[in-house]
Chains A and B, each alone.
Chain A
Amino acid sequence: MGRKLLLEHIHVPGINTLAVYREKGGYRAVEKALKTMSPDDVLEEVKKSGLRGRGGAGFPTGMKWSFLAKPEGVPRYLVCNGDESEPGTFKDRFLMTHIPHALIEGMIVSSYALGAKTSYIYIRGEMMPQIRIIENAIQEAKAAGLLGKNILGSGYDLEIYVQPGGGAYICGEETALLESLEGKRGNPRIKPPFPAVAGLYGCPTVVNNVESIAAVVPIVNDGGEEYAKIGIERSTGTKLISASGNLVKPGVYEIEMGLPVEEFIYSDEYCGGIANGKKLKAVVAGGSSVPILPANLITKTIQGNPRLMTYESLADGGFVSGTAMGSGGFIAFDEDQCIVRNTWNYTRFYRHESCGQCSPCREGTGWMEKLLYRIETGTGNLEDIDLLWDIQRRIEGNTICPLGDAAAWPVAAAIRHFRDEFEWHIMNPQEAQTRNYGLAQYADPLEPVVS
């Protein structure tokens, strides 16, 4: 059994209430931090822990916090990113639903470390039930003197408010989120300035993912060094993985960094293998934006080493034969799934969610969607594949925010690893309407496609 830091008490009845959460040791981190540590002490522990942002980019949290500008007389803000809209990702919703106080406790300790007196939790509007749960948890904490004026007699004041989004994936991008929180359209800002200098209302701001903030609690309780003992290299601690697709047991799992991917997919402790006795065809390991890998490359690296659930191992081989940890949205495809249809679906998603500010993203996603639709529905031709490749290359790196890259990478990876299947669709338009390409040789070790 792997160690659990966030979900240890998930099965305790009533753990969503303050009383039970405290019985199980909850809010010790607030007592410890506010009574015995300075804000910089907390920052130091977070740095030592090696915690990396759980929202997708994996940027070291301690380093991000240390960049926060601290001009005199200007408020600083902590904004929690609970937008969770990356397809395949549902860990934050799970955490907020079942253990809301883990987030509130993390918010208090993190706000203290950053010197924020008002903090916001931005939650996507569709999560209205979770918004109510978190608002309720805030009320409970406030009634217990854990929020508000002079928390636990420490002299530290903090208010936390929940902000609902309006249904827009782009508001997960941190500067779009800040725009949205200011009551505007979710158009990402040009950086610099970075939020650490000019964020919410032009004030220094840290934006962190729900899971990153919750992870600060065990880091304060046990110390950063203890946290860093779990995991491998620069992938420390535990990670929530949301597993979906054709698995026996999809769901949210807390894993120790370093768990072999094969064990995660097939062992009964985690996903229990592929549903309905079928074979694994492919995996998208970190949310829809990261490159898809065929079965043979997700379980082993190109050198034949077991692939592990760490930032480094998942990225081994770069985008030629590797992928990325991303948000931990692990999507498994069985032998009956169609890669072309899936790629079209993702591209349609990105076209729909593009804010429209940059032409490569706005126009490119639309063109890719049309081409993929054509191939999928049997009217594509072979040059379309090269055209797709060309378009995705022109989007990548040429936009204001990384949504453009996020739209380009899945298309590139699908063509890189499953070109045969695209060609088959084009050469057999009729047949492609009635049956899928199937597994082919992808489940068996195959020679790497070098591009």
Chain B
Amino acid sequence: MLSVKENLIVDFSADLLKKFAEVVSRYPEGKQKSALLPLLHLVQEEYGWLSVDAMDKVALFLNIQPIEVYEVATFYTMFLLQPQGKYLLEICRTGPCCLVGAERIMQHIENKLGVKEGEVTPDGLFSWRGVECLAACGFGPVLQIGPAYTFYENLTEESVDKLINELKEKAKTEA
């Protein structure tokens, strides 16, 4: 359960609302609901996840019912309905990547971070989960990190360690 403090009350910035308006202009008059997925991506990019409050505001903006937003946000796996670590490592767990060691890499990430799939490390920096085929099967094992969805291909235990250390350093300089 989320505490009240975590369930942040969202006030969209003028900048974000400007982006919303540009997206809506891509569709015919009256078809603004088409903007829903792109808008949810923008909100998630800004806040790291989708709070109920944020989804309600998106509904208001698009002039649709909140339930129309919830049913979409829960259908698509990319939308995060709970806060995650600062870096969410999403590793492909599908067949072709498993032929080249994805399961081993997932086990390694679990050991290295010391948290189970879906959990956040105590310092709040990392969480991880398995995702389905990322259309990079020839370069597996692969993982991605949002919100830019940067790809890391041909993973080995060493390259994963290196990546995690780099992210820790990066977080320090940003703190």
Residues of A within 8 A of B (CB): 75, 84-90, 92-93, 118, 124-129, 161, 163-169, 180-186, 201, 242-246, 250-252, 288, 329, 331, 333-334, 337, 341-342, 345-346, 349, 352-353
Number of A-B contacts (CB under 8 A): 152
B132 touches A352 (CB 8 A): yes
Tell whether B83 is near chain A: CB-to-CB under 8 Å. Answer: no
Task: Tell me the complex Cα distance, A353–B26, Å.
Answer: 29
A250 touches B139 (CB 8 A): yes
B148 touches A165 (CB 8 A): no
Query: Which bracket fits the contact residues of B?
Result: 35 or more
What residues of B have a CB within 8 angstroms of the CB of A167 in the complex?
76-79, 131
* Known A-B contacts A168-B77, A246-B99; A182 and B33 likewise in contact (beta carbons under 8 Å): yes
- From A127, A186, A288, A352, B95 is in contact (CB under 8 Å) with A288
A87 touches B76 (CB 8 A): no
- From B72, B131, B146, B150, A184 is in contact (CB under 8 Å) with B72
The residue of chain A having its C-beta at the shortest distance from the C-beta of B42 within the complex is: A164
A244 touches B132 (CB 8 A): no
- From A75, A87, A163, A349, B137 is in contact (CB under 8 Å) with A87
Q: Beyond A86-B133, A167-B78, list 9 extra A-B contacts (CB 8 Å).
A: A90-B138, A167-B131, A242-B138, A244-B137, A329-B96, A331-B96, A331-B99, A334-B99, A341-B98
- From A125, A128, A349, B132 is in contact (CB under 8 Å) with A349
- From B35, B41, B79, B93, A183 is in contact (CB under 8 Å) with B35
Task: Tell me the complex Cα distance, A270–B99, Å.
Answer: 19
* Known A-B contacts A93-B135, A166-B77, A168-B77; A183 and B72 likewise in contact (beta carbons under 8 Å): yes
Task: Tell me the complex Cα distance, A93–B144, Å.
Answer: 14
B1-51 at interface with A (beta carbon < 8 Å):
26, 28, 31, 33-38, 40-41
- From B72, B135, B138, B139, A85 is in contact (CB under 8 Å) with B135
B99 touches A244 (CB 8 A): yes
Tell whether B71 is near chain A: CB-to-CB under 8 Å. Answer: yes
How far does the Cβ of B25 sit from chain A's closest Cβ, in whole Å?
Answer: 9
- From A127, A168, A251, B75 is in contact (CB under 8 Å) with A168
A-B contact pairs, 22 of them (CB 8 A): A126-B78, A128-B148, A161-B26, A163-B34, A164-B41, A166-B75, A167-B77, A168-B75, A182-B33, A182-B34, A183-B33, A201-B28, A244-B137, A244-B138, A245-B100, A245-B137, A246-B99, A246-B100, A251-B138, A342-B98, A345-B95, A349-B133
Contact with A along B71-98 (1 / 0, CB 8 A): 1100111110000000000000111101
B99 touches A245 (CB 8 A): yes
The residue of chain B having its C-beta at the shortest distance from the C-beta of A410 within the complex is: B95
Task: Tell me the complex Cα distance, A245–B149, Å.
Answer: 23
B28 touches A331 (CB 8 A): no
The residue of chain A having its C-beta at the shortest distance from the C-beta of B98 within the complex is: A345
What residues of B have a CB within 8 angstroms of the CB of A129 in the complex?
148-151
B99 touches A333 (CB 8 A): yes
Task: Tell me the complex Cα distance, A164–B76, Å.
Answer: 12
A93 touches B38 (CB 8 A): no
The residue of chain A having its C-beta at the shortest distance from the C-beta of B95 within the complex is: A345
* Known A-B contacts A88-B95, A345-B95; A164 and B38 likewise in contact (beta carbons under 8 Å): yes
A201 touches B31 (CB 8 A): yes
A185 touches B75 (CB 8 A): yes
* Known A-B contacts A125-B78, A168-B75; A84 and B135 likewise in contact (beta carbons under 8 Å): yes
A183 touches B34 (CB 8 A): yes
* Known A-B contacts A164-B41, A345-B98, A349-B95; A90 and B149 likewise in contact (beta carbons under 8 Å): no
What residues of B have a CB within 8 angstroms of the CB of A341 in the complex?
98
The residue of chain B having its C-beta at the shortest distance from the C-beta of A275 within the complex is: B100
How far does the Cβ of A353 sit from chain B's closest Cβ, in whole Å?
Answer: 7
Tell whether B115 is near chain A: CB-to-CB under 8 Å. Answer: no
Task: Tell me the complex Cα distance, A169–B94, Å.
Answer: 12
Q: Sorted from nearest, which 3 A-B pairs have the closest CB atoms?
A: A166-B76, A167-B78, A183-B36
What residues of B have a CB within 8 angstroms of the CB of A250 in the complex?
137-139
What residues of B have a CB within 8 angstroms of the CB of A126 in the complex?
78, 131, 134-135, 144, 149
B75 touches A186 (CB 8 A): yes
Task: Tell me the complex Cα distance, A346–B71, Å.
Answer: 26
